[in-house]
């Protein structure tokens, strides 16, 4: 007689506890833009969240300790002329955040310590090079002032934020269709991407060469996201 053995797991009896209301952010008007993004970015100082805005694109930045009900008149970062699609905090400076928008630009902002007291409309720098909306922004994990952006023009640009120049371009010959996700390896030597053509690619950006490729990693037609994990996987 066979006996069924239940696989043991150290997470088997772990349960989550919802935070209390005064430890949450309430009354935040999250963006209704139809884009496959987390719409949120957090670092050790701030929480940023893309929100609804009239007459352009905006996102909210709040200090982590400033929880509770969010005032409807809270100052926003509102320099884009179209909805914001993605935001990313700089890993080397907790006061710097980048945003990509439907207005085809990438903007880099500096948030003052303690958060905003007035709306922030002037970015530190505006990066222009995409011809269609920018849906992905990702900072280099080890090199300062290096930012990647990917647009619906099927182009990936790597920027030197200090000069505002695009130092690397991966054009539509690498990705013939919409780019769903881009992720840096932990040392910043490679990027992995997923694309609407149902392929996951590992690319060496300096040479612009595809070093590994996987066709149809998942069945179905829904967008696929690919990320690097440890040990080169």
Q: DSSP per residue over 4-23, as a string?
A: PPPPP-TTTT----PPPGGG
In a domain, 215, yes or no: no
In a domain, 79, yes or no: yes
Is 168:182 a contact under the CB 8 Å cutoff? no
In a domain, 201, yes or no: no
**What CATH code is carried by the domain that includes residue 44?**
2.130.10.10
Give the residue among 188, 145, 151 at the shortest CA–CA distance from 169: 151
- DSSP structure class, residue 182: E
Range of the domain at 76: 22-176
CA 153 → CA 59, 104, 171, distances in Å?
A: 24, 10, 9
What does pTM read for this prediction?
0.89
Res 5: pLDDT: 64
Tell me whether strands 156-160 and 199-204 are parallel, antiparallel or unpaired. Answer: unpaired
Res 6: pLDDT: 66
In a domain, 207, yes or no: no
- DSSP structure class, residue 20: P
In a domain, 6, yes or no: no
Q: What angle do CA 212, 218, 224 make, to 5 degrees?
A: 75
Res 220: pLDDT: 83
In a domain, 152, yes or no: yes
In a domain, 205, yes or no: no
Residue with tokens 């993004």: 37
3-state secondary structure of 202: strand
Query: How many domains are contained in the chain?
Result: 1
Residue with tokens 């066979």: 2
In a domain, 74, yes or no: yes
Is 89:75 a contact under the CB 8 Å cutoff? no
- Burial environment of residue 188 by CB neighbours within 10 A (0 to 12, 13 to 18, 19 or more): middle
d(CA 9, CA 14): 10
Instruction: Output the six-digit token pair for 8.
Output: 């043991």
Is 73:82 a contact under the CB 8 Å cutoff? no
Instruction: Output the six-digit token pair for 1.
Output: 């007689």
- Say how far residue 36 (Cα) sits from the centre of its chain: 10
Residue with tokens 């980048």: 98
Residues in the chain: 233
Instruction: Going residue by residue through the chain, which has 233 residues, state the pLDDT in tens, using 9 for 90 and above.
Output: 556 666 778 888 888 888 888 888 888 889 888 888 889 999 999 999 999 887 788 999 999 988 888 988 899 999 999 999 999 999 999 999 999 999 999 999 999 999 999 999 999 999 999 999 999 999 999 999 999 999 999 999 999 999 999 999 999 999 999 999 999 999 999 999 999 999 999 999 988 899 999 999 998 888 899 999 987 78
3-state secondary structure of 98: strand
Res 106: pLDDT: 97
């Amino acid at each position: 007689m066979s006996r069924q053995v239940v696989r043991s797991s150290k997470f088997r009896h772990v349960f989550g506890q919802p935070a209390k209301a005064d430890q949450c952010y309430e009354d935040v008007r999250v963006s209704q833009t139809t884009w496959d993004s987390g719409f949120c970015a957090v670092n050790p100082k701030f929480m940023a969240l893309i929100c609804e805005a009239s007459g352009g694109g905006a996102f909210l930045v709040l200090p982590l300790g400033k929880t509770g009900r969010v005032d409807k008149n809270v100052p926003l970062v509102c320099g884009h002329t179209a909805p914001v699609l993605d935001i990313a905090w700089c890993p080397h400076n907790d006061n710097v955040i980048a945003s990509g928008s439907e207005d085809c630009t990438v903007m880099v902002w500096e948030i003052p310590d303690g958060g905003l007291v007035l709306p922030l409309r002037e970015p530190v720098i505006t990066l222009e090079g995409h011809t269609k909306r920018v849906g992905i922004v990702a900072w280099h994990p080890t090199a300062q002032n290096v930012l990647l952006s990917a647009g619906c023009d099927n182009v990936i640009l790597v920027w030197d934020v200090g000069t505002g120049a695009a130092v690397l371009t991966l054009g539509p010959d690498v990705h013939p269709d919409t780019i769903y996700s881009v992720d840096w390896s932990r040392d910043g030597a490679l990027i992995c991407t997923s694309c609407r053509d149902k392929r996951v690619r590992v690319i060496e950006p300096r040479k612009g060469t595809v070093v590994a490729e996987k066709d149809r990693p998942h069945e179905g037609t829904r967008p696929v996201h690919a990320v690097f994990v440890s040990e080169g996987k």
